[in-house]
Amino acid sequence: DVSIGSVSTGFPLSLVVSDVEVKDWFKIRKVLGGMGLVDLFSEDFILTSLELKGLAITLEKRPEPKPEAGTAEGNAAAGGQASQPQEEQKNPPVLPVRPHQQQVLPLPPRILIKRLIVSDGVVGFVDYSRADQPVRISLKDFNAEIESIRWPLDISSVTFFTVRAGLPWETGAEQGRISFDGWINPLRKDMRATLDVRDIDGIALYPYYRDWVTVEKDRIAKARLNFSSNITSLNNDVNAACHLELTQIEFKQREAEESEHRIEKMINVVIGLFKAMDEGKIVLDFNFNTKLDNPEFGLLGVIESALKTKVQDTRPAEPPAEQIINFPGKVLKGTITGT
CB proximity list for 193: less than 8 A, separation 6 or greater: 161, 180, 181, 182, 183, 184, 230, 231
The mean pLDDT value for 99-104 works out to 57
Burial annotation 53-91 (CB, 10 A radius, 16+ → b, else e): bbbebeeeeeeeeeeeeeeeeebeeeeeeeeeeeeeeee
Average pLDDT over residues 200-214: 67
Residues 6+ away with beta carbon under 8 Å from 146: 115, 116, 117, 159, 160, 161, 162
Q: Sign of torsion, CA 254 259 263 267? A: positive
Interatomic CA distance for residues 244 and 278, integer angstroms: 12
Please, which pLDDT band fits residue 126 given cuts at 50, 70 and 90?
confident
Given a cut of 90, is residue 296 above it in pLDDT? no
pLDDT value of residue 51:
95
Triad 47, 49, 55: Cα angle to 5°: 115
Dist. CA 25–CA 28, nearest whole Å: 11
Does 189 score more than 50 pLDDT?
yes
Band of pLDDT at residue 335, cut at 50, 70 and 90: very low
pLDDT at residue 230 is higher than 90: yes
Mean pLDDT of 84-103: 55
Q: Which helix (H) or strand (E) holds 309?
A: helix 300-314
Distance CA 32, CA 50 (A): 6
When mean pLDDT is compared across 104-113, 180-189, 202-211, 278-287, the lowest value belongs to: 202-211
pLDDT of residue 182: 97
pTM value? 0.71
pLDDT of residue 235: 95
Q: What is the model's pLDDT at position 237?
A: 96
Specify the higher pLDDT residue, 91 or 235. 235
Q: What is the pLDDT of residue 184?
A: 96
CB atoms within 10 A of CB 247: 15
Q: How far, in whole angstroms, is CA 146 from its chain's centroid?
A: 18
Residue 18 has pLDDT above 70, yes or no: yes
What pLDDT is attached to residue 145? 97
Are residues 10 and 17 in contact, defined by beta-carbon separation less than 8 angstroms? no
- If one counts every other C-beta atom within 10 angstroms of the C-beta of residue 276, the result is 10
Please tell me the predicted confidence (pLDDT) of residue 40: 74
- Nearest 10 degrees: Cα torsion 139, 245, 216, 299: 70
Q: pLDDT confidence of 169, banded at 50, 70, 90? A: confident
Q: What is the pLDDT of residue 120?
A: 95
User: How large a percentage of the chain has pLDDT more than 70?
Assistant: 60
Exposure letters 178-202 (e unless 16+ CB within 10 A, then b): bebebebbeebbbbebebebbebbb
DSSP conformation letters of 123-147: EEEEE-SSTTS-EEEEEEEEEEEEE
